[in-house]
């Protein structure tokens, strides 16, 4: 949260190097995306002239769904205006 403070200078410290390496390792080792075919799955979608979004939810029932994956994309103006 340091960078959210006003007038804070960014400093690349050993802690930030370690955090970056840990994140890279976590994102590149299995399981990256794990979907259980035995659980209920929901894929709600949202679309507007501004963009598209969807999330993949899985769980044992409607009350206990967990986020598996999320993606969104902002539409370019040319696409929105059909030019």
Round to whole Å and give the CA distance between 38 and 58: 10
**Which three-class secondary structure string do you get for 30-74?**
CCCCCCCCCCEEECCEEECCCEEEEEEEEECCCCCCEEEEEEEEE
Distance CA 53, CA 44 (A): 9
Q: pLDDT tens, 14-37? A: 988 998 898 888 878 876 667 788
Ranges of the chain with pLDDT below 70? 1, 31-33, 62, 76-83
- How many residues are listed for the chain in this entry? 83
Environment class of residue 58 by beta-carbon count within 10 Å: exposed (0-12), middle (13-18) or buried (19+)?
buried
Q: Using an 8 Å Cβ cutoff, are 73 and 51 in contact?
A: yes
């Amino acid at each position: 949260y340091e960078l959210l403070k006003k007038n804070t200078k960014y400093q690349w410290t050993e802690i930030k190097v370690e955090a970056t390496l840990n994140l890279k390792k976590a994102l590149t080792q299995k399981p990256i995306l794990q979907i259980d075919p035995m659980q209920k799955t929901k894929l709600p979608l949202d679309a507007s002239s501004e963009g598209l979004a969807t999330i993949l939810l899985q769980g044992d029932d409607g009350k206990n769904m967990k986020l598996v994956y999320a993606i969104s994309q902002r539409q370019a103006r040319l696409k929105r205006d059909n030019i």
